[in-house]
Amino acid sequence: MTDHTIEKGIEWEYAPSIQDTEMVSIAETYGLFINGAFVDPGEGETFATINPATEEHLALVSAAGSADIDLAVTAARNAFENVWGPMKPSERAKYLYRIARLLQERAREFAVLETLDGGKPIKESRDIDIPLVAAYFFYYAGWADKLDYAFPGIEPKPVGVAGQIIPWNFPMLMLAWKIAPALAAGNTVVLKPAETTPLTALLFAQLCNEAGLPDGVVNIVTGDGRTGAAIVDHPGIDKIAFTGSTGVGKSIRRALAGTGKKLTLELGGKGAHIVFDDAPLDQAIEGVINGIFFNQGHVCCAGSRLFVQESIRDEFLDKLRSRLDTLRVGNPLDKNTDVGAINSAAQLQRIEALVTTGRDAGVDMFQSSCELPAKGFWYAPTVFTDVSQSHRIAQEEIFGPVLATMTFRTPDEAIEKANNTPYGLSAGVWTTKGSRILWMADRLRAGVVWANTFNKFDPTSPFGGYKESGFGREGGRHGLLPYLEGPWS
Ligand code: NAP
Ligand code: MG
């Protein structure tokens, strides 16, 4: 009989488990997806997208100029007026279900491509991003023929052509949050993915054709900020949906003032994660780790400020320090990897610059002792301790694997400190007292408050911000509102 006893104290060799990439095929050059076909950009400009974990060149992608945006908007308008708008809602639903099923069938391909182009761990793209993407399409497919039930007595009508601009941190998930409700409500779209992560959106374009989606319903235009601005400025667009930084969000709001175009903004955040002394500490540690190191901290709702009750400060930070060292940082294609690559050289610089302000201010910090790969963009998981409210690392969004910790004594003080931010996207509370959770949730100025968990997403649940985190909700029945004309318009 085999002896299955495990010998303690022996050194286990680390065995990587690398995801193969054979199912992904990347073209040398991509055109713009307009009116159901890939076309060359008018001015013929292209730019490269790379793998941030290796700095390897992946593909050349087209940069759409104003003339290309005009073609895309014309295609979307035509599809809206002649095909998608007049179509029976139950027929529209069938296309959305088909897209959702195809996404499930090709889930691994999408996950691997997402990881190659953006640097996030395969564990996350495979188990979180892409399953959620399919779930959002299934969910909104279900609403497509039930809008009269969603908003009884109102007979809501689609808005028309939506211009949608998304960031690089959750490329496919943000695409799903934008495209699924827009199409379910009867609109057509022109979507721009981020410059550093365009490849999965271009694969999605191919999938739209495979699903037989009528030409012009979905148009994908790649490019940089100038392409985004051309979408914002195009007079044929009825509604802009933007997810990205607060700075760009403000400039879009200024550009749209007085134009009558509808607008929703999903912007930055500086989420507060609050741990009371009665919380289950080991679970809270996992929540805090997930809150800030999930997706390298490139998460708008990251729990980037930790407030620990003073009585458990030392114990909690000790536990956090040891957990930090067990995080596996490195090759995003390794199925064991917890923290992958920073999305771009520019983002790495922003992280380094903000961390430097913390160090220059004399704030103590500790970092994971992990070894970082020589090539690519990497940042070791970092925790600042005893930060003060006025430090830039407590106020500004770092959008990287960096946590700012502070303490509090009473629930009132926790609320005061947590709300002391220009943002208001997310918060988390850890305590065993249900009444305290409700008391806190009532007072935290944040669009989402998680209780004894963090970073949980569900298509049925609306998501969005207060204050400089933006306005409008995505997900749930609320997520349909920005794409419908009704008494709320
Ligand atoms: P960003 O610079 O604002 O970019 C977002 C998107 O806008 C990209 O596609 C970008 O193109 C484009 N863009 C840039 N300048 C533009 C302009 N003047 N007009 C129109 N579009 C323009 O933000 P980011 O750094 O990529 O993303 C990180 C930010 O997004 C963080 O602040 C994060 O909190 C926020 N975010 C919020 C949510 C949410 O749901 N609230 C979700 C995810 C991320 P390029 O890629 O070419 O620059
Ligand atoms: Mg890339």
Q: What is the pLDDT of residues 417-436, one digit of tens each?
A: 999 999 999 999 999 999 99
- Check whether 8 has a pLDDT greater than 80: no
Q: Which residue lies with its CA nearest to atom 14 of ligand 1? A: 225
pLDDT-based confidence at residue 9 (cuts at 50, 70, 90): confident
Q: What is the pLDDT of residue 331?
A: 98
CATH of domain 29-267+469-485: 3.40.605.10
What value does the mean pLDDT of the chain take? 97
Q: Which residue do the tokens 């959002």 mark?
A: 136
User: Distance between CA 202 and CA 75 in Å, rounded?
Assistant: 17
Render pLDDT for 91-150 as a digit per residue (tens, 0 to 9): 999 999 999 999 999 999 999 999 999 999 999 999 999 999 999 999 999 999 999 999
Helix (H, G, I), strand (E, B) or coil at 393: helix
The token pair that represents 105 in the structure block: 């069938």
Start and end residues for every CATH 3.40.605.10 domain found in the chain: 29-267+469-485
Strands 470-471 and 262-266: antiparallel
| Cα–Cα distance list, 249 to 254, 268, 467, 475, 482 (Å) | 9, 9, 12, 20, 16
User: Distance between CA 454 and CA 467 in Å, rounded?
Assistant: 21
User: Distance between CA 231 and CA 178 in Å, rounded?
Assistant: 15
CB 405 within 8 A of CB 366: no
Written as one letter, the residue type at 134 is A
Mutate to test the pocket of ligand 1, among 300, 343, 455 (most ligand atoms within 8 A of CB): 300
Render pLDDT for 31-43 as a digit per residue (tens, 0 to 9): 999 999 999 999 8
Q: How far is the CA of 324 from the centre of ligand 1 (A)?
A: 29
Render pLDDT for 361-393 as a digit per residue (tens, 0 to 9): 999 999 999 999 999 999 999 999 999 999 999
Q: Does 301 qualify as catalytic in the annotation?
A: no
CB 365 within 8 A of CB 398: no
Q: Which residue do the tokens 């946590």 mark?
A: 403
User: Distance between CA 344 and CA 340 in Å, rounded?
Assistant: 12
Q: How far is the CA of 116 from the centre of ligand 2 (A)?
A: 7
288: alpha, beta or left? (left if phi > 0; alpha if psi -120 to 50):
alpha
User: Distance between CA 37 and CA 205 in Å, rounded?
Assistant: 9
Superfamily of chain region 272-458: Aldehyde Dehydrogenase; Chain A, domain 2 (3.40.309.10)
Query: Averaged over 463-477, what is the pLDDT?
Result: 97
User: Distance between CA 391 and CA 16 in Å, rounded?
Assistant: 40
CB 356 within 8 A of CB 343: no
Q: Which ligand is nearest to the CA of 49?
A: 2
Percent of the chain with pLDDT over 70: 99
User: Distance between CA 72 and CA 329 in Å, rounded?
Assistant: 41
Q: Cα 318 from chain centroid?
A: 30
pLDDT-based confidence at residue 13 (cuts at 50, 70, 90): confident
Q: How far is the CA of 67 from the centre of ligand 1 (A)?
A: 22
Alpha-carbon torsion angle 396, 132, 242, 382, nearest 10: 10
Q: What is the pLDDT of residue 417?
A: 98
**Ligand 1 atom with minimal separation from the 192 CA:** 9
pTM metric for this prediction: 0.96
Q: What is the pLDDT of residue 6?
A: 66
Mutate to test the pocket of ligand 1, among 132, 169, 191 (most ligand atoms within 8 A of CB): 169
Render pLDDT for 203-212 as a digit per residue (tens, 0 to 9): 999 999 999 9
Q: Which residue, 268, 339, 332, 340, is CA-closest to 300? A: 268
Q: How far is the CA of 146 from the centre of ligand 1 (A)?
A: 32
Percent of the chain with pLDDT over 90: 95
How many C-beta atoms lie closer than 10 Å to residue 16's C-beta? 12
Whole-angstrom Cα Rg for the chain = 23
Mutate to test the pocket of ligand 1, among 248, 254, 347 (most ligand atoms within 8 A of CB): 248
Q: Which residue, 110, 238, 112, 225, is CA-closest to 166? A: 225
Q: Which residue lies with its CA nearest to atom 34 of ligand 1? A: 268
Render pLDDT for 160-204 as a digit per residue (tens, 0 to 9): 999 999 999 999 999 999 999 999 999 999 999 999 999 999 999
End-to-end CA distance of the chain: 73
Check the CA dihedral 83-88-89-93 and report its sign. Answer: negative
User: Distance between CA 121 and CA 12 in Å, rounded?
Assistant: 23
Query: Averaged over 457-483, what is the pLDDT?
Result: 97
Ligand 1: list residues with CB < 6 Å.
165-169, 192, 194-195, 224-225, 228-229, 232, 243-245, 248, 251-252, 266-269, 300, 397, 399, 425, 465, 470
Q: Cα 211 from chain centroid?
A: 25
Q: How far is the CA of 4 from the centre of ligand 1 (A)?
A: 52
Instruction: Name the catalytic one among 266, 396, 397, 468.
Output: 266
Start and end residues for every CATH 3.40.309.10 domain found in the chain: 272-458
pLDDT-based confidence at residue 1 (cuts at 50, 70, 90): low
